[in-house]
Copies of this chain bind each other. A is one copy, B any other.
């Protein structure tokens, strides 16, 4: 019985950037879906466990989710003004993380990388 979970996943797929659980919940309700906040949280967690969605934490500590566009490991370049997000693949940073890790005797290395900046449109003089 994963109808709700699928609905959550669909909602996420139809969204563009990262969405918070409450966001997803609000949108589903708007579209008339009968679903509870609890279920949205549970669906999102399950989806994240499966690796079907990306999860990251905002600076405010809120978890935001996004349906994976690609199944390959990637990072995000986020505009701090408008939130515009670009997925970036970074073999360089992957290797770097591996290198610094093993250099210090660490194994099973994972890493989180978020790059922030001001995108072209937002840094345009007209602002």
Q: A63-B61, A97-B115, A113-B113 are in contact. Are A77 and B92 (CB under 8 A)?
A: no
> Which residues of B are found within 8 Å of A88, using beta-carbon distances?
100, 104
Q: A90-B96, A96-B93 are in contact. Are A115 and B120 (CB under 8 A)?
A: no
Residue from B59, B79, B100, B116 in contact with A90 in the complex, judged by beta carbons closer than 8 Å: B100
Binding site for B on A (CB under 8 A): 57, 59, 61-63, 77, 79-80, 86, 88, 90, 92-93, 96-97, 100-101, 104-120, 123
Known contacts A88-B100, A111-B113; 9 further A-B pairs (Cβ under 8 A) = A77-B104, A88-B104, A107-B117, A110-B115, A110-B116, A111-B114, A112-B114, A112-B116, A113-B113
